Amino acid sequence: MTTQERMLRAIKQRAGNVVLRQELADLGSASQVTEALKALQARSVIIRIGTGVYAKTRKSSVTGSIVPAGTLETLGVEALRKLRVPVAPGAAAAAYNAGTTTQIPGVFVANTGRRRISRRISIGGRTLQYENNYGRAAATT
């Protein structure tokens, strides 16, 4: 069984739609894993959404083309959780969910708490945006 076949089976068996390269690293040498990932991308089994982060694909019921198996928001949050980054809704979404505003957030923003994130996760020209609590003073009452 080739590295590509083992990798394909491992990807299909995984729960969720995000696969990290480090999860597949034990299936072969670094160069074998790289070549197998390139081949799976060429076959449209997975797409690359970030450095070392891949998403499973599915066939669109509307257009019939190959699309990611989730939205930027769901895949981004799943990827960050797999990378052990705490994720919460951004300030605008939190205010809307709490009912303090009726303004619907136009863009999904992930709040990463006190962590600074420089990782770029993007799908189809849209990039996940981050905010953090790093510079915010705690509210006192």
Q: pTM of the predicted model, to two decimals?
A: 0.85
In tens digits, the chain (141 residues) has pLDDT values of 888 999 999 999 999 999 999 999 999 999 999 999 999 999 999 999 999 999 999 999 899 899 999 999 999 999 999 999 999 988 888 899 999 999 988 888 988 888 888 889 999 889 999 998 876 655 555
1-70: CATH number? 1.10.10.10
- Per domain, the residue ranges of the chain are 1-70, 71-141
Please give, one letter per residue, the 3-state secondary structure of the chain. Answer: CCHHHHHHHHHHHCCCCEEEHHHHHHHCCHHHHHHHHHHHHHCCCEEEEECCEEEEEEECCCCCCEEECCCHHHHHHHHHHHCCCCCEECHHHHHHHHCCCCCCCCCCEEECCCCCCCCCCEECCEECEEECCCCCCCCCC
